[in-house]
Amino acid sequence: MTVTGKNIKMIITDLDGTLLRADKTISEYTKKVLLHCRKLGIKIAFATARTENSSKRFVSAILPDAIISNGGALARCGDATVYSCAITQETANCLLRDCVESPDVGYITVETVKGDYFVNHPFDPNSFVWRDYRHGKHNDFLQGVGCDVYKLAVEFYDTKSAYQIAANYPDIGMIGYTGENWFSFHHKDVTKWNAINHLIEYMGISVNEVAAFGDDYNDIDMLQKCGIGVAVANAIDEVKSVANYICGTNDNDGIAKWIEQYIIQN
């Protein structure tokens, strides 16, 4: 089957570095284009490393049909949980202790299956970095957490320590964020693509009818496997190399302009 913009029934986009501008906002032009897609019957979904709570500003602006959060650990369509894959409480607490005891670790954040968001150091909820995480609660983590967790995000001063810790946990996957010294720890089966696969099956949409947009390592699978994969111009080279198209940058409404050209005007 030849995949073209005319075939697309769902748009799935990453948030940070892709849909969001550098100031963590969505332009009015991009909002208008995405809302127009919804009027045309095209489904919209977010696929982000963010937690559900930290994505609320953007969910309220666009009202997507579905959201994949925590890097693919959780997928919801409306009120339905379509996919969920967590680290067990026992493993999470062992991993947390290793991180807390490492001299190379700074901030640690944890998203639990109960929806709690814990942080190991005090933070300013009004700062630019933390403004979407005002719901966070302080936890020293030596006491552990009381349930399974979707994701641990850990700041490492020496990235070698991240790989050394991860090597002790064969059931845990780890991925870094480009341009940052933060790493995400999650269940080894967690990827955005795995969550997308469950989501499109639930929604009765073929993979060939999906256009995916991304910029970083955790977007590679979904750009490779969805019907159309589009990298923003500011994406890392590894993402651009697997994309079918390269659109403009996140700061220049790249996604919206591509959608207008290849989907709406077709």
CATH topology for 89-187 is 3.30.1240
Q: How many CB atoms lie within 10 A of CB 155?
A: 18
Distance CA 222, CA 64 (A): 18
How does pLDDT run across 171-204, given as a tens digit for each residue? 999 999 988 899 999 999 999 999 999 999 999 9
Report the amino acid identity of residue 192.
K
DSSP letter for 192, please: H
> Residues 124, 56, 181, 129: is their CA dihedral positive or negative?
negative
Contact 227, 3 (CB under 8 A): yes
What Cα–Cα distance (Å) separates residue 139 from each residue in 125, 132, 151? 15, 18, 15
The pLDDT score that the predictor gives to residue 210 is 97
What Cα–Cα distance (Å) separates residue 187 from each residue in 43, 54, 83? 28, 20, 13
CATH code 3.40.50.10490 for 5-84+191-264: no
* The token pair that represents 113 in the structure block: 């299956």
User: What does DSSP say about strands 137-138 and 245-247: parallel, antiparallel, or unpaired?
Assistant: unpaired
- Please report where in the chains the tokens 């006491």 appear, as a residue: 143
| CB-based contacts of 85, cutoff 8 Å, min separation 6 | 72, 73, 74, 150, 186, 187, 189, 190, 194
* The token pair that represents 38 in the structure block: 């919804």
Parse the chain into domains and list their residue ranges: 5-84+191-264, 89-187
pLDDT, the chain, mean: 94
| CB-based contacts of 52, cutoff 8 Å, min separation 6 | 67, 69, 70, 74, 76, 115
Q: Is the pTM of this model over 0.85?
A: yes
How does pLDDT run across 207-229, given as a tens digit for each residue? 999 999 999 999 999 999 999 99
How does pLDDT run across 23-60, given as a tens digit for each residue? 999 999 999 999 999 999 999 999 999 999 999 999 99
The pLDDT score that the predictor gives to residue 1 is 44
| CB-based contacts of 163, cutoff 8 Å, min separation 6 | 174
Distance CA 3, CA 70 (A): 29
Among the listed residues 158, 74, 72, 144, the one whose alpha carbon sits nearest the alpha carbon of residue 110 = 144
Distance CA 58, CA 214 (A): 16
How does pLDDT run across 63-96, given as a tens digit for each residue? 999 999 999 999 999 999 999 999 999 999 999 9
Contact 65, 45 (CB under 8 A): yes
End-to-end distance of the chain based on CA atoms, in angstroms? Answer: 17
The pLDDT score that the predictor gives to residue 265 is 82
Which residues face 69 on adjacent strands?
A: 74
